[in-house]
Structure 1
């Protein structure tokens, strides 16, 4: 089990898993699988690292309403990464029932 990172006042944290080490590709895949199995709609956002604590990130296409393929979501993340290599990229799961975010986490650190 990996250790939780200590608080560092000079390094701001955010999102669901930000105090843990970066996720492996398999852990990202598992989280996407959980997201789509819950019926949540994936959405990809990206921004410059210096603007990461702004409330406004750039939306990568529209949310993937009804998407059930983990591979399609991963392909979109990879395309966003290729087009914006220096940006932070986060994946959001929108829950239709509660009409809110079910989860949000960083999938690429620019």
Structure 2
């Protein structure tokens, strides 16, 4: 009996985060996800990592989390600033749920070239 790793493309396919198996999100879909994070009262945060280290447990954080920030435009602007500073890195957005003390959302917004 073949294992999943012996069944072809699954072995070589690398997926990242929640939406890794879906087609790339459009800019509008990313904005909808950010709006959802904010609407839930979660704290947005941005992390980045070079693709060669993307499967490490911890990624460096871009600035501090956006505690109490409800401005979608500010979060989008910081995502773009992070992308300009680290064009070859994967950049992901997190939504921290302070009540549950966990991540309510986590997905890669930009995939780096590396």
Provide TM-score, normalisation by structure 2.
Answer: 0.88
Provide the residue aligned with 1:3 in structure 2. Answer: none
Distance 1:22 1:109 in 2: 10
Distance 1:61 1:10 in 2: 33
1:57 to 56, 59, 81: 59
Provide the residue aligned with 2:73 in structure 1. Answer: 71
Distance 1:8 1:24 in 2: 25
Number of paired residues? 105
Alpha-carbon shift at residue 12 of structure 1 (Å): 1.9
Q: Which residues in structure 2 correspond to 1:22-33 (within 5 Å)?
A: 22-33=24-35
1:104 to 95, 103, 106: 106
Alpha-carbon shift at residue 62 of structure 1 (Å): 0.6
Alpha-carbon shift at residue 13 of structure 1 (Å): 1.6
Distance 2:16 2:86 in 1: 20
Q: Kindly indicate whether residue 72 of structure 2 is the aligned counterpart of residue 88 of structure 1.
A: no
Q: Give ranges in structure 1 of 5+ residues lacking alignment.
A: 1-6
Provide TM-score, normalisation by structure 1.
Answer: 0.92
Alpha-carbon shift at residue 56 of structure 1 (Å): 1.5
Q: SS where residue 8 of structure 1 aligns? A: helix
Larger Rg: 2
Q: Cα RMSD (Å) of the superposition? A: 1.3
Provide the residue aligned with 2:17 in structure 1. Answer: 15
Q: Give ranges in structure 2 of 5+ residues lacking alignment.
A: 1-8
72-81 or 49-58, which moves further after superposition? 49-58
Provide the residue aligned with 1:4 in structure 2. Answer: none
